[in-house]
Amino acid sequence: MSVHIQNSVRQTTQTIQKKKLNGEKIAMLTSYDFTLAKLVDEAGVDIILVGDSASNVVCGNDTTLPITLDEMIFLAKGVRRAAQHALLICDMPFGSYQVSEEEAVRNAMKILQLSGADAVKLEGGEEILPAVRHMVNAGVPVMGHLGLTPQSVNQFGGYGLRAQAEAEAKKLLYDAHLLEDAGCFSLTLEKIPAALAKQVTDELHIPVIGIGAGNGTDGQVLVLHDMLGLTQGFKPKFLRHFAELADDVKSAVSDYVQAVKDGSFPNESEQY
Ligand code: KIV
């Protein structure tokens, strides 16, 4: 039995931060279009992320690198029209914040201005601090993202677990504190050991949201198409399928094809 939770308040960076103080877990999911985002919002999610995972699940690319700023803004605009309650965060795509802090702030402002998103998320630690500080000073709320940072896949050489070695774990903890000090309102941790994620969560004052980072974080995020069982051939250990929609979609489409071919669709009541 599923519980339908209707969020009555519009979430803000402040209401999200209060949840950590109150010990209330934060539920975050990605969305990339109006129709699904409306369902996600109405079902009570706290944060909707227009993730650059759109590059994979919407555009069919192998990595998140090809998606552009204009494409992210286009997707976020549709999600904005649907998100009445959830805080809306839009990922800054690869190449939109690494060149200079001036360009990073300009692009972050463009996202907020043109899409109506409430905040941006960007990947990285110490190396992106100047950009984060500039954005925060300009009034742009920023969520950090550490651990497995898919935009750096060509440096990592794959999508394996991060921060297993002590040196990398220490660096991640250090970067997490730097991001908090630079003004990030929250932080995503992707695919790192659960004990490390819990330590970061316990040490930081800002909410920490995990994906593949265990149960000790302040909240969880998943890619919508993955948790709905729409993505085929991708089932890492951390992913739970809350539905098997790929099977439902295929079965509905094949029923439709059959009904068209045998002439049973449309019937008399389905015509004018
Ligand atoms: O792009 C994305 O979907 C993300 C989540 C995996 C956190 O960054």
Q: Using an 8 Å Cβ cutoff, are 111 and 121 in contact?
A: no
The maximal CA–CA distance of the chain, rounded, in angstroms, is 70
Residue whose pair of structure tokens reads 């802090």 in the numeric block: 101
Q: What is the pLDDT of residue 3?
A: 52
Residues 38-60 have pLDDT tens digits of 999 999 999 999 999 999 999 99
**How many angstroms separate the CA atoms of 19 and 21, rounded?**
5
Average pLDDT over residues 227-249: 97
Question: Percent of the chain, pLDDT > 70?
Answer: 97
Ligand 1: residue whose CA is nearest its atom 1? 51
pLDDT above 50: residue 105: yes
Average pLDDT over residues 94-109: 98
Across the chain, what does the average pLDDT equal? 96
DSSP 162: -
pLDDT above 90: residue 163: yes
Average pLDDT over residues 104-117: 98
Confidence of residue 1 (pLDDT cuts 50, 70, 90): very low
Ligand 1: residue whose CA is nearest its atom 2? 51
Q: What is the pLDDT of residue 9?
A: 85
30, 58, 192, best to mutate for ligand 1 pocket (most atoms within 8 Å of CB)? 30
Cα 12 → chain centroid: 16
DSSP 126: G
Residues 170-219 have pLDDT tens digits of 999 999 999 999 999 999 999 999 999 999 999 999 999 999 999 999 99
pLDDT above 60: residue 221: yes
- What pTM was estimated for this model as a whole? 0.96
Question: Ligand 1: residues within 6 Å at CB?
Answer: 30, 49, 51-53, 91, 188, 190, 211, 221, 223
Q: Give the CA angle between residues 200, 203, 208 to the nearest 5°.
A: 50
Q: What is the pLDDT of residue 2?
A: 53
Q: What is the pLDDT of residue 27?
A: 98
The amino acid at 75:
L
- C-alpha Rg value of the chain to the nearest Å: 20
Confidence of residue 6 (pLDDT cuts 50, 70, 90): low
pLDDT above 70: residue 90: yes
